[in-house]
A and B are shown apart, each in its own frame.
Chain A
Amino acid sequence: MPGAPAVHGCCDRCTGAAGSAAAAKVARRRLLKAAVFPSHDDSVTSAGTSSQADSSFDSVPQDPHVGPGRAGFADTGQLPRAVSGTVLDVSPQVLVLGDAGDEQRFTLTPDAVAWRGAQLEPTALRQGDHAVVRLHPSSRQTADRIWANIGRVTGIITERSGSRIVVDEGATRSPRVVAIQPRAAGRIQVRFPTLEPGYLIDVIGLRRDGELDGMIPATSQPAYPVSTMPQPPLVSGRIPDSIGGSATWHEPGDEPPGVLGVCYPALDPETNCAEDAASGQTHGYARMPYLAIGSVLRVKNECTGLDCMLPVTGCAPVARLFNDRCVICGTSPRGRIADLTMASFVALGGELDRSCFNATITIGE
């Protein structure tokens, strides 16, 4: 039986080692960038310091993406909000979640739906289930969607023994074990015909005892093994401010629960983390502008119309290896451009059991 190999060390750019430290770095970098490129508003309100940022030329290119200083992050008051916790009690009208000693009660809407491997009534949830709850936009105390014990494994297959597969999710995450459930094996094998080492896999299922019971194929398997990934298409000319593609979600790992952020698939390779997938691939399938932890993106869900500003909080070393398309509402023009935290994905109206939504990101608005 395959067991999960030793965990890789976490590097400077991963979000995991210390979520608060990463958040502090995000905030600090935004502050420092705003100091160099003060926004117009800043210069008006603080005329005395408007020339604190100095340049060596008069007609120098100004940063076209002056934004971090004035970019407002997601206004969670305007968005459906995600809450996670352990189910303590559930009735047809009320859901009680417990989290670190706190008890939270949510009223369930009449059409509230739950998911635990399949759609079910909220009353079918069990005590002890770990639930991600989407709150109704109109009320912080009303829940309309619940996902129980949902998990996702996205990575490169490193080992297989029967229906159990060890998956490498990149240098910054622990290897995961997926157990393909017999009743889901056919469905998964249609979309992932090659469950062999070196190939990519992306499966949604139920978390159980540190493993994932694979139930839903989250995409179609790329035709290539990671070692022979095609060269990304070349891009010339001006890079557009907005890029359309697929937005996926990932399990929080050691990120702080409920963090709003996005893992971006093209972090600057000079900082030795994101491009450090176990496969040794130094490039992703799509060429995208280089960014860093702390950069700000506006992510828009093209299927729901919801959008918000999110900081780049981590690397997406595996998402960049996929060249799949999201087909939730039309076919996305390119593959994965953003790997959202669960909270961000739900806040933008994504359905966790549907794996992705068509998205547009705008850099440094």
Chain B
Amino acid sequence: MLFNAIREVQLPLIAALLLAGCGAKLARALRVGSADAALGPTALFPMRMRRPLAIVMCAIELGLGVGLILTAGPIRSMAAADSIRLVTGVMFLVATSALIELRSARPDVGCGCFGDFSTAPVSGRTLARSAFLAVAALSTISLPAMNKSMLNTNKVGVLATLAAELIILGALSPELGEGLIRLGYSAPCELRATSAERTLAALRRSKQWRRRVGMITDPAPIDMWRELCWRYAVFPASVEDRRTEVVFAIFLAQRHPTVHAALVDAGTGQPLPWPAPPPRTGLLRRRPNLPIAAPSVPVHVGSAPADVPLSSDL
């Protein structure tokens, strides 16, 4: 009973995989505009043979996928159905052998089974999946034609087998992880391309910039570079007639990026203390009883060095 349920599940599953593989290869060929650059075992062959081989492989997958579906139901000759199932099994055996060869000859090349999703180098999982599908296809030989009554009598067994097999195939498929990543992909900040203009715009909206802009002599950075999630921008500055530079480090976040700043000597690059902020006499004179609000940034007043701009933050 269970063995029959297992066999019945194989046909639609293998057919779906074959058609998906053919579709993914076609999509890749259309995207790159050529079948020459196909991944997989075609890389083992000379260039002139790759295109026809890629086309033949795709055609075989399409033909077998459609054939498995058409011969799964009641048909006149079971021999035709068995032939297609046998060819499918043999194809997967050949594919397994080719992947073993590919793995040893070209360890850098992906199997190409599902086009762009299969760019990861051939691994043991890929080989196991191919061998598994070969066994699955061969197990369907002499399986009687499928009909509704068969499914109704063993519905639970078929569904359980289908679920178990999908889990096994998922575990054996490196493409699954790649597909899931693409569905909800957000690149880590280290890998995200962020324009310099956008970074500078974010910098100029920041409190650090407003606090330091008075000493900056040229709004255009004299040097700018990026490391991982940080972009650094250096601006020429002048403090009490001394040539200095203000260095900003801007975190490449989507919103409200963190900004750090430092003042350095223009000649030596050595850090300098920030100049004491000018007394805000005008404001205090007009409003002598203005209560001093707590700064948004906790500061250690007792040990605050001169560079902590208490007054300008209020």
Contact = CB atoms under 8 A, between A and B. Distances in A.
A196 B194 CA distance: 36
Contact of A290 (B224, B228, B270, B297): B228
Given A230-B119, A239-B190, A36 B228 contact: no
A239 B137 CA distance: 40
A63 interface: yes
A268 B260 contact: no
A53 B271 contact: yes
Contacts of B36: 225, 228
A37 B228 contact: no
B116, B207, B228: residue with the most chain A Cβ atoms closer than 10 Å = B228
Interface residues of B, number: 72
Contacts of A234: 178, 181-182, 185, 187
A32 B108 contact: no
B26 interface: no
Nearest to B207: A56
B138 to A, nearest CB: 31
B240 interface: no
B262 A290 contact: no
B247 A289 contact: no
A192 B7 CA distance: 45
B144 interface: no
Nearest to A331: B107
A118 interface: no
Contacts of A9: none
B199 to A, nearest CB: 9
Contacts of A37: 249, 260
Contacts of B230: 63
Question: Contact residue range for chain A?
Answer: 35 or more
Nearest to B47: A194
A363 B228 contact: yes
B228 A65 contact: yes
B261 A193 contact: no
A228 B36 CA distance: 9
B97 interface: no
A62 to B, nearest CB: 9
Interface string B47-73: 100100000000000000000000000
A223 B122 CA distance: 14
Nearest to B190: A289
Interface string B8-44: 0000000000000000000000001110111100110
Interface stretch (A173-181, A251-259, A292-300): A292-300
Interface in A292-342: 292-295, 323-325, 327, 331, 335
Contacts of A233: 119-120, 178
Contacts of A57: 258, 297
B30 to A, nearest CB: 12
A271 B305 CA distance: 37
A76 B121 CA distance: 37
A65 B208 CA distance: 22
B116 A230 contact: yes
Interface in B172-224: 178, 181-182, 185-188, 190-191, 193-196, 206-208, 223-224
A275 to B, nearest CB: 10
A32 to B, nearest CB: 5
Interface string A17-44: 0000000010011011101111000000
A53 B261 CA distance: 6
Contacts of B129: none
A54 interface: yes
Contacts of A288: 191
Interface in A53-80: 53-58, 60-61, 63-65
A269 interface: yes
A364 to B, nearest CB: 7
Interface in A131-188: none
A61 B258 contact: yes
Contacts of A323: 108-109
A43 B255 CA distance: 30
Nearest to A333: B121
A58 B295 CA distance: 11
B185 A236 contact: yes
Interface in A100-144: none
B92 interface: no
Given A268-B225, A291-B227, A238 B181 contact: no
A52 B260 contact: no
A35 B119 contact: no
A36 B251 contact: no
Nearest to B248: A36
Contacts of B308: 51, 54
Contacts of A287: 187, 191
B50 to A, nearest CB: 8
Given A233-B178, A234-B181, A60 B251 contact: yes
A252 B223 CA distance: 26
Nearest to A54: B261
A54 B227 contact: no
B43 A228 contact: no
A197 interface: no
Given A29-B223, A236-B185, A292-B225, 12 more contacts: A48-B305, A49-B272, A51-B307, A223-B38, A223-B109, A233-B119, A268-B226, A270-B193, A287-B191, A290-B190, A325-B108, A364-B227
Interface of A: 25, 28-29, 31-33, 35-38, 48-49, 51-58, 60-61, 63-65, 193-194, 196, 220, 222-225, 228, 230-231, 233-239, 268-271, 287-295, 323-325, 327, 331, 335, 363-364
5 contacts: A51-B305, A54-B307, A225-B36, A233-B178, A271-B224
